[in-house]
Amino acid sequence: MTSRPNKDQQTSPSVDTAGEPKAAKGNLRKVFVRTYGCQMNVYDSERMTDVLAPEGFEATEDLNDADLVILNTCHIREKAAEKVYSELGRIRKVKEERAKSGKDMMVGVAGCVAQAEGEEISRRAPIVDLVVGPQSYHQLPGLLEKARQGKKVVETEFDIDAKFNHLSGQAEKPVLKRAPSAFLTVQEGCDKFCTFCVVPYTRGAEVSRSVQQIVEEAERMASAGVREVTLLGQNVNAYHGEAADGATWGLGRLLRRLAEIDGLDRLRYTTSHPRDMDDDLIAAHAELKSLMPYLHLPVQSGSDKILKAMNRRHTREDYFRLLDRIRAAAPDIALSGDFIVGFPGETEQDFEDTMDLIRRVEYGSAFSFKYSQRPGTPGATMDDQVPEDVKSARLAELQALISDQQKAFNASRRGMICDVLLEKTGRNPGQLVGKSPWLQPVQLDAQENLIGSIQAVEIVDIGSNSLFGRLIAGQDTFDTAGAAAAPASQAG
Ligand code: SF4
């Protein structure tokens, strides 16, 4: 499944708390990583920063200050490659400015556009020194060295095992301080081949990391102060990793193991395919207190005809039956989804079927997009492409319905007392921002030293995108009650 885009963002600088990088302090070079697209790219950007830290690079959020710029790109949007080229045009000007004061700047393009475009990038944008696909980030130091010698480097091999093994080899590396909530990739690639999606072509076949690799990384995160981990994969619930005894574990079993790690009080996963929600994973929602009551389970369309054309391999009734089972196991769960309107051949009736599905499900939130043709996918060459104005009108109608459902869901939290993981300072002095169990941002007045703690909070008001809360006790609910204790979430 495609994880849906966040705002473009820079990778937060990692803080080295336990080791000296190769270059002496004071002689550090700066790396600026701009991340586009999904959470998997956010995770990969953090890993790139980690891999570069021992080489003497520290992260900067100032492009003008960067000795190395990496664009970690996303191919999910229309004209993604063109947007990268225009960004490279802006970077060229910064590079020229720096050159006037004798400073160099190397430029790399990573991510799915790098994978899809390969050599074409350095041909069209000669300022690019390095093109590196998503499976080759562990090779960055060596690739940079080649680029430094004046070679144009293009590395787009599909060797996920090598990347995962390298990530596992980070176990001996110094622990890097992390934000209270972190991503952890457990699976990459996809074998589903939905006819609108480029992921199987840009990220390759499904590969799962071993249980041991994931547990070790989660333990390192917990010891670095992470309280909440979101397991990532393009099709995360297809996870099938090998355990130490050679057995294959599914996602449910992996979650149970991660729930045993001290300090990891919240677990999430994204993004899932309906066909891969097995009984064990559904049961985990009923059993694990630390598995948050939120599930992103895209359906894309409510029309069986369109689901078939999309090669989704399930019907709308299959989806309803599945949700019944999930809600029976976790009645409090908030559901989220993805919708594509205007897929080739979508009639008014097909669209109405989608609206009907949304009305029946009642989502807590959802992402929705107009269908756009992605080169190389079967959908791009299908007959009956839907006119742009029809797509726009349907999208507006669908988004209005989703927005109403989201407001209703948020309003239903008013008066509840729930656990909130406090993650960062807010816009106003004295304000912190945290996350509810249902993935809603919660703003409240609290002291900064509470960042990283989980607090009982009463939801007192509802904004358009956030909830507003009031601290109840001022003490970490997990410190006082123990990590295995039930969260204080309660309705009414
Ligand atoms: S092919 Fe389908 S299941 Fe796989 S990542 Fe794309 S949308 Fe998700």
Does residue 71 have its Cβ closer than 6 Å to ligand 1? no
Structure tokens at 441: 């941002």
Does residue 266 have its Cβ closer than 6 Å to ligand 1? no
Asked if residue 479 has pLDDT above 70, the reply is no
Phi/psi for 187 (5° steps) reads -155, 145
Task: Please give the Cα distance from 457 to 417 (Å, whole number).
Answer: 5
Asked if residue 10 has pLDDT above 80, the reply is no
Asked if residue 53 has pLDDT above 70, the reply is yes
Confidence at residue 424, expressed as pLDDT on a 0 to 100 scale: 95
Residue bearing the bigger pLDDT, 25 or 316: 316
Residue bearing the bigger pLDDT, 185 or 157: 185
Give CA separation, 226 vs 218, 258, 286, 444, in Å.
Answer: 9, 13, 24, 21
Residue bearing the bigger pLDDT, 13 or 191: 191
Confidence at residue 47, expressed as pLDDT on a 0 to 100 scale: 84
**CB–CB of 48/33 below 8 Å?**
yes
Q: Give the mean model confidence (pLDDT) for residues 380-384.
A: 93
**CB–CB of 295/339 below 8 Å?**
no
382 C-alpha to ligand 1 centroid (Å): 18
Task: Give the model's confidence band at 202: pLDDT under 50 very low, under 70 low, under 90 confident, else very high.
Answer: confident
436 C-alpha to ligand 1 centroid (Å): 28
Residue bearing the bigger pLDDT, 348 or 114: 348
- CATH fold label, 9-157: Rossmann fold (3.40.50)
**CB–CB of 102/63 below 8 Å?**
no
Task: Give the model's confidence band at 201: pLDDT under 50 very low, under 70 low, under 90 confident, else very high.
Answer: confident
Confidence at residue 160, expressed as pLDDT on a 0 to 100 scale: 63
Q: Within its chain, how far is the Cα of 4 from the centroid?
A: 7
Task: Please give the Cα distance from 46 to 178 (Å, whole number).
Answer: 10
Q: Give residue for tokens 């269908």.
A: 371
Does residue 193 have its Cβ closer than 6 Å to ligand 1? yes
Task: Please give the Cα distance from 132 to 143 (Å, whole number).
Answer: 9
Q: Give residue for tokens 């705002």.
A: 7
Superfamily the domain 417-481 falls into:
Nucleic acid-binding proteins (2.40.50.140)
69 C-alpha to ligand 1 centroid (Å): 30
Task: Please give the Cα distance from 334 to 443 (Å, whole number).
Answer: 19
pLDDT per residue as tens digits for the range 136-175: 888 898 999 898 888 888 888 766 666 666 655 554 454 5
**CB–CB of 457/444 below 8 Å?**
yes
Test site for ligand 1: of 197, 276, 299, most ligand atoms within 8 A of the Cβ? 197
Residue nearest ligand 1's atom 3 by CA: 1
Confidence at residue 486, expressed as pLDDT on a 0 to 100 scale: 32
Give CA separation, 483 vs 114, 262, 287, in Å.
Answer: 42, 7, 15
DSSP string, 193-232: --TT--HHHHT-S-EE--HHHHHHHHHHHHHTT--EEEEE
Does residue 91 have its Cβ closer than 6 Å to ligand 1? no
Asked if residue 17 has pLDDT above 80, the reply is no
Domain residue ranges of the chain, discontinuous segments joined by +: 9-157, 178-292, 293-411, 417-481
Task: Give the model's confidence band at 3: pLDDT under 50 very low, under 70 low, under 90 confident, else very high.
Answer: very low
Residue bearing the bigger pLDDT, 252 or 374: 252
pLDDT per residue as tens digits for the range 228-249: 999 999 999 999 999 999 999 9
Task: Please give the Cα distance from 120 to 109 (Å, whole number).
Answer: 11
In this structure, are strands 68-73 and 29-35 parallel, antiparallel, or unpaired?
parallel
Structure tokens at 182: 């972190």
Residues placed in the known binding site = 38, 74, 112, 190, 194, 197
Does residue 199 have its Cβ closer than 6 Å to ligand 1? yes
pLDDT per residue as tens digits for the range 270-309: 999 999 999 999 999 999 999 999 999 999 999 999 999 9
Confidence at residue 169, expressed as pLDDT on a 0 to 100 scale: 52
Considering the domain delimited by 178-292, tell me its CATH architecture: 2-Layer Sandwich (3.30)
The strand pairing partners of 432, in sequence order, are 425, 444
Report how far apart the first and last C-alpha atoms of the chain are (Å, whole number): 34
Nearest to 200 by CA among 208, 191, 212: 191
The strand pairing partners of 188, in sequence order, are 207
Task: Please give the Cα distance from 213 to 244 (Å, whole number).
Answer: 10
Domains 178-292 and 417-481 share a fold: no
**Farthest CA pair distance, the chain:** 66
Does residue 200 have its Cβ closer than 6 Å to ligand 1? yes
Does residue 192 have its Cβ closer than 6 Å to ligand 1? yes
Nearest to 458 by CA among 492, 420, 417: 417
373 C-alpha to ligand 1 centroid (Å): 15
pLDDT per residue as tens digits for the range 393-432: 999 999 999 999 999 999 999 999 999 999 999 999 999 9
Task: Please give the Cα distance from 54 to 19 (Å, whole number).
Answer: 9
Residue nearest ligand 1's atom 2 by CA: 194
Asked if residue 7 has pLDDT above 70, the reply is no
453 C-alpha to ligand 1 centroid (Å): 35
Q: Residue 62 has what DSSP assignment? A: -
Does residue 273 have its Cβ closer than 6 Å to ligand 1? yes
Task: Give the model's confidence band at 381: pLDDT under 50 very low, under 70 low, under 90 confident, else very high.
Answer: very high
Helix (H) / strand (E) element for 185: namely strand 181-185
> What percent of the chain stands above pLDDT 70?
86
**CB–CB of 68/57 below 8 Å?**
yes
Pick the CATH number of 293-411 from 3.40.640.10, 3.30.750.200, 3.30.70.100, 3.30.420.40: 3.30.750.200
Does residue 194 have its Cβ closer than 6 Å to ligand 1? yes
Torsion on CA atoms 274, 279, 282, 287, rounded to nearest 10: -170
Task: Please give the Cα distance from 167 to 215 (Å, whole number).
Answer: 12
Least confident segment among 59-73, 110-124, 153-167, 349-363 = 153-167
Task: Please give the Cα distance from 96 to 107 (Å, whole number).
Answer: 12
pLDDT per residue as tens digits for the range 327-369: 999 999 999 999 999 999 999 999 999 999 999 999 999 999 9
Task: Please give the Cα distance from 180 to 285 (Å, whole number).
Answer: 22
Mean pLDDT, the chain, as a whole number?
Answer: 87
Q: Give the mean model confidence (pLDDT) for residues 100-122.
A: 89
Asked if residue 39 has pLDDT above 50, the reply is yes
